[in-house]
Structure 1
Amino acid sequence: MKEEKDYIQKLAEIRSMMEQSSKFLSLSGWAGIMAGIYALVGACIAYNFLGFKTGEIPEESSSSIYLLAIVILGFALISAIFFSRRRAIKNKQPLWNFTTRRLIIDMAIPVATGAMLILILISMDLERLIVPLSLIFYGLALYNASKFTLNEVKILGIVQLVIGLLSLYFSEYSLLWWSLGFGLAHIVYGIYMHYKYER
């Protein structure tokens, strides 16, 4: 009986080692929470100070809204790196390795494609498609990269895709969909990840 328990324990250890080498496990729930908070603060600024109240981005404040979105993205990326690094150090795991590179590449292709498409849409005065497509391409990026990390990332990707498609159909509520996708969904995901993996 003891030999059987030892065998099962060794198998569990081998499986854990293989998972650590093939999956990026340093994602932090706090990174998701902070990204969601930044998105909600940005949505409040866009609504209350920049006049983004319908599906159309107001022409007079469009450059300010684009700049605000870039600042929010910057803060979200900095938070993701900071909290992931902190978690990697705590778990004595490398932050940068082959798996991390693959994850970034698999996310970068849909994100870069979406960004180029959005720039084309701006040049064609089709700004009402920006919010839906940013959610859709972000969802595709998460889904694509999920094979290198935890299954919850795939679920978040699917949620972003669904919200993006809904915002495409109900485009008059663009800012609300943006807040749900980049804001609330990230906060719920982050809280879940924190309590499941980090406590």
Structure 2
Amino acid sequence: MNNPKDDLQHIRQMMERSSRFISLNGLSGVAAGIIALIGAFIASKLLQQQGVNYLPGEGYYGYTYDLGIRLLILAIIILVAAVGAGILLTVQKTKKQGLKIWTSTTQRLLVQLFLPLAAGGLFCLALFYHDLFGLIAPATLLFYGLALINASKYTYSDIQYLGICEVFLGLIASFIPGYGLVFWALGFGVLHIIYGLLMYKKYK
């Protein structure tokens, strides 16, 4: 005779799989964090070549259009690399679990995630157009955090806390834009690594 507790646990797992995307790989967060830190290091070198010293908070000044284009290209490369690593590791975990990766839940998750990201991307382009380079890093943190919070109802609830931390950092960076790159490295680099390790330990 089946144990009622086991049956309830099985039903609960089936309901969770149907309503939430549970194949996120904690290591993808670690990979994204490492890639972001590498990108921040390269960006700091580009700024130094331009004569912009970030440590005393001079990062809001000294930008040229050419430097802005270089930083934009670097940001796109970092984004593609981080997303690519995340997709690869998540697909591997999904196959290992014997689950389908493209489901209605996945579609809802992506919609909730990319709507704020698309709005944030357009807003950052507007900042770039108006030469407000120092506010771009805070804006990316803010919109990314809002996207995570928005999408958390379709995946692990833990991701909501990461989103709140990203928003918090973005708000602080908005008031001291000269340190935008520092906060960007903390948000996309350090926080991702910490979150990824905690997720990997909890859901491995």
1:9 corresponds to which of 6, 9, 13: 6
What does 1:85-104 align with in structure 2 at a 5 Å threshold? Answer: 85-104=91-110
Aligned residue identity for 1:173: Y
2:201 aligns with 195
CA–CA distance in structure 1, aligned partners of residues 201 and 81 of structure 2:
23
1:28 aligns with 25
2:60 aligns with 56
What does 1:50-199 align with in structure 2 at a 5 Å threshold? Answer: 50-51=47-48, 53=54, 54-56=58-60, 58-59=63-64, 60-198=66-204
CA–CA distance in structure 1, aligned partners of residues 44 and 129 of structure 2:
23
Q: CA RMSD in A?
A: 1.3
Q: Is the contact made by 2:32 and 2:188 (CA closer than 8 Å) also made in structure 1?
A: yes
CA–CA distance in structure 1, aligned partners of residues 3 and 59 of structure 2:
61
Segments of structure 1 that go 5 or more residues without pairing to the other structure are none
Aligned residue identity for 1:11: L
CA–CA distance in structure 2, aligned partners of residues 182 and 29 of structure 1:
14
CA–CA distance in structure 2, aligned partners of residues 171 and 119 of structure 1:
17
Q: Is the contact made by 2:35 and 2:78 (CA closer than 8 Å) also made in structure 1?
A: yes
Aligned residue identity for 2:176: F
Q: Is the contact made by 1:50 and 1:65 (CA closer than 8 Å) also made in structure 2?
A: no
Structure 1 residue runs of 4 or more that deviate by more than 6 Å after TM superposition = none
Helix, strand or coil for the counterpart of 1:90?
helix
Segments of structure 2 that go 5 or more residues without pairing to the other structure are none
CA–CA distance in structure 2, aligned partners of residues 81 and 136 of structure 1:
23
Identity among equivalent positions (%) equals 40
CA–CA distance in structure 2, aligned partners of residues 43 and 116 of structure 1:
22
Aligned residue identity for 2:172: L
Q: Is the contact made by 2:35 and 2:82 (CA closer than 8 Å) also made in structure 1?
A: yes
Helix, strand or coil for the counterpart of 2:3?
helix
CA–CA distance in structure 1, aligned partners of residues 133 and 176 of structure 2:
14
Moved more, 45-54 or 116-125: 45-54
Q: Is the contact made by 2:35 and 2:189 (CA closer than 8 Å) also made in structure 1?
A: yes
Deviation string 1:54-112 (CA, Å, 9 cap, x unpaired) is: 33262142111111110000001101110000000011111111000000000111000
Q: Give the TM-score normalised by structure 2.
A: 0.92
Deviation at 1:6, TM superposition (A): 1.2
CA–CA distance in structure 2, aligned partners of residues 152 and 20 of structure 1:
16
Helix, strand or coil for the counterpart of 1:55?
coil
Deviation at 1:144, TM superposition (A): 0.2
Deviation at 1:128, TM superposition (A): 1.4
How many pairs align?
195
